[in-house]
Amino acid sequence: MDIEVTDGKASTPTVKGNFTISGRSPWLTSYNGKVKAKYKVRFFGNYYLHSILFDSKGKNIVDSRLGQSLSHGCVRLSVDDAKWVYDNIKDHTGVYVN
């Protein structure tokens, strides 16, 4: 199964390698509080798998782009794919980011 994702831009690349899932939360709030993402799943430090971006209230999509290098290092997924990961990939599961 192939899914389309967005990874880190050149100035804030996504880490690559073997990692372990280590925590989750229903929401990620950006460092400046201006955007949120659904279904945050940590794979390393402050690197997460999460949904596309929503406004600060979590109501309206502000960036739905996938398949590009745009993030601050996290891996963005569609809302449906992020929810599947959140619901099905448990803590301590290995993940390979390439």
How do the domains of the chain map onto residue ranges? 7-97
* φ/ψ of residue 49, rounded to 5: -95, 130
For residue 86, the SS3 value is helix
Question: What is the pLDDT at residue 41?
Answer: 98
Cβ neighbors of 13 (< 8 A, separation 6 or more) are 7, 69, 73
74 in active site: yes
Which of the following is catalytic: 28, 37, 74, 82?
Answer: 74
Confidence category of residue 1, pLDDT binned at 50, 70, 90: low
Joined tokens for residue 68: 């590009």
The number of helix segments (H) and strand segments (E) in the chain equals 1, 10
Residue 53, amino acid: L
Question: What is the pLDDT at residue 87?
Answer: 98
86 vs 34, 69, 96, CA distance in Å? 23, 22, 16
Which of the following is catalytic: 14, 50, 51, 53?
Answer: 50
Domain 7-97 has CATH 1.10.150.120: no
5 in active site: no
Confidence category of residue 2, pLDDT binned at 50, 70, 90: confident
Q: What is the pLDDT of residues 16-66, one digit of tens each?
A: 999 999 999 999 999 888 999 999 999 999 999 999 999 999 999 999 999
| Model confidence at 74: pLDDT above 70 | yes
